[in-house]
């Protein structure tokens, strides 16, 4: 969980997009601050890239920045409404194309055409088979020197806490309130789940890359919102022996959210 059908229901229907996705940047001081202080430093060496593929752009929170760093860009999302929104939002930019997919297909993307594939704050909701399917296709879609940046779930690395949470959430609300009157189970277990995929881990990502003929060249395990558990991974991958394949780096960063507090303060000085 969550399944593709649940993702579609959520992002194409239930979720109201009150600020077109900018609402998720609040803890970093806004979308501009989050891009320049948290995301751009992590991808700067891959930009500019002639062709960028963004998987699951939503309403274009990162597209608005990525588009200035390429000649052409393709966005692929499971939500028809999000794709329609992006088409309207970026209507004047004829080098940007947007396609609805089924949650795992990259059929709309020509083979050997992608220099940089990016996904942030979306695939944390994708279970292992979705990540695997995207990687298998990306081996064909990437140019020889293409490189990828995926933000995905590592929640599966905490099976014990996930199981406790699952049992706890089945209890009636009145009992839950009595057991933990001051705060939720997430703060007691120091883990933020946030509708993350429970089957996905950083280790599986490395395995799927290898099986697909790709190489995971670095992983940064990060925490999110509440809790110290490293529930996400930012994984970078390319073809083996590409110019990017120079390191095999792994970082456990339990301060990702704390950095958000700093960028919020910096935003007051340096962002619009």
Q: Which is nearer to ligand SAM, 82 or 135 (CB)?
A: 82
Q: Are 250 and 219 in contact (CB under 8 A)?
A: yes
Query: Helix, strand, coil: what percent of the chain each, to 5?
Result: 45, 20, 35
Name which of 66, 83, 49 is nearest 119 in CA terms: 66
d(CA 38, CA 219): 15
- Residue among 28, 37, 53, 77 that touches ligand SAM (CB under 6 A): 77
Q: Candidates 96-104, 197-205, 219-227, 242-250: pick the segment binding ligand SAM (CB under 6 A).
A: 96-104
- 157-166, long-range: CB within 8 Å, 24+ apart, which pairs? 157/201, 157/202, 157/203, 157/230, 158/191, 158/229, 158/231, 161/189, 161/191, 161/229, 162/191, 162/193, 162/198, 164/189, 165/189, 165/191, 165/193
Tell me the residue nearest to ligand SAM as measured from the CB: 58
- Residue among 53, 78, 209, 230 that touches ligand SAM (CB under 6 A): 78
d(CA 198, CA 196): 6
**How many residues in the shown chain lie near ligand SAM by CB under 6 A?**
23
- Residue among 51, 53, 115, 121 that touches ligand SAM (CB under 6 A): 121
Q: Candidates 101-109, 159-167, 180-188, 206-214: pick the segment binding ligand SAM (CB under 6 A).
A: 101-109
Q: Which is nearer to ligand SAM, 78 or 157 (CB)?
A: 78
Contact pattern from residue 130 through residue 169 relative to ligand SAM, giving x for each residue in contact according to CB under 6 A and a dash for the rest: x---------------------------------------
d(CA 220, CA 151): 9
Q: Candidates 76-84, 180-188, 210-218, 247-255: pick the segment binding ligand SAM (CB under 6 A).
A: 76-84
- Residue among 51, 79, 193, 198 that touches ligand SAM (CB under 6 A): 79
d(CA 113, CA 61): 23
Place of tokens 């996705």: 21
Q: Which is nearer to ligand SAM, 101 or 223 (CB)?
A: 101
The length of the chain in residues reads: 272
H or E stretch covering 87:
helix 80-89
Q: Which residues, 13 to 52, sit near ligand SAM by CB under 6 A?
A: 21
Q: Which residues, 215 to 234, sit near ligand SAM by CB under 6 A?
A: none
Binding site for ligand SAM (CB under 6 A): 4, 7, 11, 21, 55-58, 61-62, 77-79, 82, 101, 103-104, 120-122, 125-126, 130
């Amino acid at each position: 969980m969550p399944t593709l059908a649940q993702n579609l229901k959520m992002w194409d229907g239930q979720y109201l997009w009150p600020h077109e996705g900018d609402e998720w940047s609040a803890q970093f001081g806004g979308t501009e601050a989050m891009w320049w202080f948290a995301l751009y430093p992590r991808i700067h060496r891959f930009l500019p890239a002639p062709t960028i593929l963004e998987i699951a752009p939503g309403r274009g929170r990162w597209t608005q920045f990525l588009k200035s760093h390429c000649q052409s860009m393709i966005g692929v999302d499971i939500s028809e409404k999000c794709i329609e929104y992006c088409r309207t939002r970026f209507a004047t930019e004829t080098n940007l194309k947007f396609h609805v997919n089924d949650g795992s297909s990259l059929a709309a993307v020509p083979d050997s055409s992608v220099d940089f594939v990016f996904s942030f704050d979306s695939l944390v909701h994708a279970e292992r088979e979705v990540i695997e399917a995207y990687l298998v296709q990306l081996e064909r879609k990437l140019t020889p020197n293409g490189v990828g940046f995926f933000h995905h779930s590592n929640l599966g690395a905490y099976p014990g806490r996930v199981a406790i949470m699952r049992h706890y959430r089945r209890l009636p609300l009145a009992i839950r309130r009595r057991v933990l009157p001051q705060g939720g189970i997430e703060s007691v277990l120091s883990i933020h789940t946030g509708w993350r995929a429970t089957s996905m881990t950083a280790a599986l990502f490395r395995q799927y890359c290898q099986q697909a003929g790709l190489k995971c060249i670095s992983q940064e395990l990060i925490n999110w919102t509440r809790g110290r558990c490293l529930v996400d991974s930012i994984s970078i991958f390319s073809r083996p022996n590409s110019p990017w394949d120079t390191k095999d780096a792994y970082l456990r960063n339990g301060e990702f959210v704390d950095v958000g507090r700093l960028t919020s303060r910096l935003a007051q000085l340096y962002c619009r």
